[in-house]
Amino acid sequence: MTILLNNDGYWHDKYRAALAKHLPERKVVEFDDDYDKADIEYALVWKHPDGDLPLYPNLKAVFSLGSGTDYLDAHKALPTAPIFRLIDPNMADDMALYTLYWIIHFQRQIEVLRQQQRKAIWQRYPTPLAHEVKVCVLGQGAIGGHIANVLSRNGFETFGWSRSPKSLDGVNSVVGLEALQTVLPDMDVVVCMLPAKPLTHKFLNKDIFERMKKGVSLINISRGSVVDEDDLLSALNQGQIGAAALDVFAIEPLPKSSPFWGHPNVHVTPHMSGATNADTAVEIIAQNIKLFEVGTMPNYRYEREGI
């Protein structure tokens, strides 16, 4: 049995080492290798070329090397074999810690203190306690829900918005667009964890920004397409959005000409809030392959649908 590996060309050495560790009996080929498509039974892929996977006649299952599905949604041709998203608790923890870092940064006015340090100014400011800071996490899927739980456990008053009801300990569930518009004016921080879907394209736009509390902080760790970047820049320039931590953008890498780079109230990171760890990812996939081979369907099967 042969495994096809294509992580869009990145970190294949790490994935090969992890596959040798967790699936030592399996042969591994990379997309650019010379191999017989009939030999491939499992594919581990990220941003694989559209139309290729249906050409593997003995393909049993596809394991995506990430939780996002926008590249799959864009494919015109998908295999009949089931496709599974990667939900790695280690990735979810990383993204939760990234979010927690920036919320504390905004809560404690760290940027003000950094500016003071450059000028050798010793001055303290009163800052709110965690339970006085209201945070809304947009998107309550497997990772968004985990982030909301972590924020709640750290004392922040946490709200989780989704289109269907969710029940998470310590998280105030907000359901539907009308309810979101009602709570947004009270939020101090808004965290975007919405998937890239037709329903979410430029969901965060002028209308949504204007409903937020003036000076709100925004954290986006989902996909750049969810934000209307022109509207966000306008909201930042007008002070409607007080600060933004942006890990994802409509075009990546972020062009050097982008005004986000030099904006005084924007913090840019290079899509690293929750990078996939090859070893833990392959360990999960190896467990799922073993489940699949004894007739048990793994969790997080991909389906084409809205949020």
The sign one gets for the Cα dihedral 113, 231, 91, 164 is positive
**Active site residue: 26, 163, 267, 271, which one?**
271
The residues that bridge with 160 in the sheet, in sequence order, are 137, 173
d(C-alpha 289, C-alpha 287), whole Å: 5
Per DSSP, 161 falls in state E
d(C-alpha 86, C-alpha 65), whole Å: 6
Kindly report the backbone phi and psi dihedral angles of residue 146, in degrees, each rounded to the nearest multiple of 5, phi listed first: -65, -45
Catalytic residue flag (residue 146): no
d(C-alpha 45, C-alpha 63), whole Å: 6
Burial of residue 11 (CB within 10 Å: 0-12, 13-18, 19+) is middle
The residues that bridge with 192 in the sheet, in sequence order, are 138, 220
Catalytic residue flag (residue 12): no
Q: What is the dihedral of CA 69, 71, 72, 76, to 10 degrees?
A: 150
Helices (H) and strands (E) in the chain, counts: 9, 12
**Active site residue: 16, 85, 223, 304, which one?**
223
Residues that are catalytic: 223, 271
